[in-house]
Amino acid sequence: MTGRRHYRPRYLQVAEDLRDEILRGDLAAGDPLPGEPVLAERYHLSRTSVRDAIKLLRDWGLVRAEPGRGTRVRTQRQRVRRTPERYQWEKDRVRLPEHERRTAGATEKDTGLKVDDLEFHAEYSTVEAGADLAERFQVPVGTRLLHRVYWTSSVKEGAALTLARSWLVYDVAAANPDLLDAANEPWPGGTQHQLHTLGIEVDHVIDEITARPPQPDEAHILDIGPGVSVLVLRKTSVDTEGRVAEVAETVLPGDRTELVYTTRLERWSG
């Protein structure tokens, strides 16, 4: 921000400056951060403000205080660039043979990682629809839902890249008993293939995006610091009959995830 009305503390500018150096790679993983006196002189800043800047870098998860070794740059986390092309990509894979469907899922597509770089976790349970999900699925409050929790971890980082919850109407899913057992995860071809086994074809997907601080359990699984926000992406898959087939909510770390949507406009006639 520029302009006299905007209050921008100096320590924040310094923290952003150092952040840019880290993200550009000028300061590499394992490198020591310059000491407080050096930074104070470089930026003409008090030691207190330098400490505030370093605290912010720690909160952002970019540096870490290492006993006896000072403050060092942390290994930068895997970045995720997620575009809605993943939905058509998943749909196109539904009718591939199983051995091809098995080779990659949407997370591999978003991260550029291989199946072996990722560890997949799934937990299933049943829940009763509250007011919100009941309205979404157009079913009575209390209707039984299959509730699925997924997280995909980078083997190298030992922390989750994304955390997702998904709901299906239980009685709909139960038409294929294989869909009720988490042991069948990761399901080759993912949710769109699962729905296909029920005779359901997805027509469109609605992404609704908000942001908030992580909840403690999310911060733990995603291994993110207190200065990191999460993106919450609620995805509603609507079938060719106009019925909601699946609702999912994915929590993504805001500091390393980019959601990218391209809107093409109609051309003016020449």
Contact 187, 246 (CB under 8 A): no
Contacts of 84 (CB under 8 A, 6+ apart): 205, 207, 261
Q: How far apart are CA 225 and CA 5, in angstroms?
A: 30
Q: Among 31-39, 138-146, 169-177, 206-214, which window interacts with its own copies (CB under 8 A)?
A: 206-214
229 vs 241: CA distance, rounded Å: 37
Q: Is 242 in the site for its own copies (CB under 8 A)?
A: no
Span near its own copies by CB under 8 A; candidates 31-39, 65-73, 170-178, 212-220: 212-220
Element (H, E) at 252: strand 244-253
Please name the amino acid found at residue 191.
T
- The site map against its own copies for 3-42 (x = CB under 8 A) is x-xxxxx--x-----------x------------------
Q: Is residue 258 close enough to count as binding its own copies by CB under 8 A?
A: yes
Could you tell me the smallest distance in angstroms from the CB atom of residue 91 to its own copies?
A: 5
> How many C-beta atoms surround the C-beta of residue 166 within 10 A?
21
Choose, by CB under 8 A, the member of 50, 133, 202, 247 that binds its own copies.
202
Report if residue 141 touches its own copies, rule: CB under 8 A: no
| Window of 32-40, 61-69, 123-131, 134-142 that interacts with its own copies by CB under 8 A | 123-131
* Interface size with its own copies, residues (CB under 8 A): 61
The strand pairing partners of 59, in sequence order, are none
Would you count residue 123 as binding its own copies (CB under 8 A)? yes
Q: Which residue is associated with the tokens 């150096």?
A: 21
Site residues for its own copies, 40-59, by CB under 8 A, read: none
Name which position in 96, 165, 185, 197 contacts its own copies (CB under 8 A). Answer: 165
The CA-based angle 190-196-202, given to 5 degrees, is: 85
Tokens 């880290």 belong to 22
Alpha-carbon dihedral sign for residues 164, 165, 171, 172: negative
Positions that interact with its own copies (CB under 8 A): 1-3, 5-9, 12, 24, 84, 87-88, 91, 95, 123, 125, 127, 131, 147, 149, 165, 201-213, 215-218, 220-221, 227-231, 240, 254-255, 257-268
